[in-house]
Amino acid sequence: MHTQLPDGPATRITRLIERMGRLTRARESGSGELNPAQWEALRFLARANSWSRQPSQVARWIASSKGTTSQTLASLERKGLIARRKNPDDRRGVLLELTERGHALVSQDPLSDLSRSIGRLPPLHAAALSQSLVQILSDLAGEQAQPGFDTCRSCRHFRVGETAPTCARFGALASEDLTAICAHSEA
């Protein structure tokens, strides 16, 4: 039986989001460098703080199994875009970092076009859109929603501090940590 979505704004928005997703995936694949999952992992590693750049957190971010994520990361490594180093906080763990080549590629992210288009919206429209998308995403993710993955200023562990901001969990925060994504943030 063929089931059609009912006409109305919800269906129209659903189709627009789907079309936008298709366009961005086509741009990612068309870049010829990486597939969409590899782009997603590379972007995360470019934006995450040093307490979040572990293979297990990449798997959580891209909502993929550890095995599939490990293949994605191995392929980024083979292309010379990321490197592993020992995690000073975990004897058996590794930390992932972008190489110079990885940073150069992220600066040509095919999603920049989408970001620029959104940037041309009037600020009130952009704020409303952002709020609506957050709500839709959390509604959609339901029980599969992953905690964390926000920035310090909205986290309960964040302390302004007398001389510099700190994290009640990890200690001193560098200025770049304040805008980075943290897998351990708690609202």
Q: Is 47 in the site for ligand SF4 (CB under 6 A)?
A: no
Region of 55-63, 125-133, 134-142, 166-174 interacting with ligand SF4 (CB under 6 A): 166-174
Count of residues for the chain? Answer: 187
Closest to ligand SF4 by CB, 57 or 72: 57
Site mask, ligand SF4, residues 137-156, x = CB under 6 A?
A: ---------------x--x-
Dig out the tokens for 173 from the structure. 């925060």
The gap between the terminal CA atoms of the chain, to the nearest Å, is: 44
Distance CA 101, CA 34 (A): 13
CB 96 within 8 A of CB 54: yes
Can you tell me which of 22, 86, 158, 179 binds ligand SF4, judged by CB under 6 A? 158
Residue indicated by tokens 């310090």: 152
Shortest distance (Å) from residue 147 CB to ligand SF4: 11
Nearest to 174 by CA among 44, 51, 55: 51
Q: Is 157 in the site for ligand SF4 (CB under 6 A)?
A: yes
Contact set with ligand SF4 (CB under 6 A): 49, 51, 152, 155, 157-158, 167, 169-170, 177, 182, 184-185
